[in-house]
Amino acid sequence: MKLRIDGREAPVRVQAARRYRQRLVGLIGRRHLATDQALWIPACRSIHMFFMRFAIDAVFLDGEGRVLSVRAGIRPWRTATVWRARSVLELAAGAAATLGIKENSHVQIVADAAVGGGA
């Protein structure tokens, strides 16, 4: 999947964690997250960094993809919660700022076929 921020395509590949095991494990076990990778967790308002090896940026989104909060550089063994969030986008530490993601930005996660085309 691809990522759009305020209508522009971002150079990031998004993996969705929809199944229980994907959501439970998330990024645990990885040594790093590349700046062009992201993990999207739908139906989520809270994340944990237990057993993680690296820091991440967490972007909390409402039901329409509006950014409610950007938690930059969350380190291992921490948690983050935004009660109004409906999903969370996890990015490499520093990527949110590099991509220009901030509160009230609009984020879309779209299937590859839908990017760049369509009526």
- pLDDT value, residue 20: 87
- pLDDT value, residue 6: 97
First to last CA, the chain: 19
- pLDDT value, residue 29: 86
Q: Is the pLDDT of residue 68 over 90?
A: yes
- The pLDDT tens digits of the residues spanning 41-62 come to 999 999 999 999 999 999 999 9
Q: What is the mean pLDDT of residues 75-93?
A: 98
φ/ψ region of 15 (left if φ > 0, alpha if ψ in -120 to 50, else beta) reads beta
- The pLDDT tens digits of the residues spanning 10-43 come to 999 999 999 988 888 889 889 999 999 999 999 9
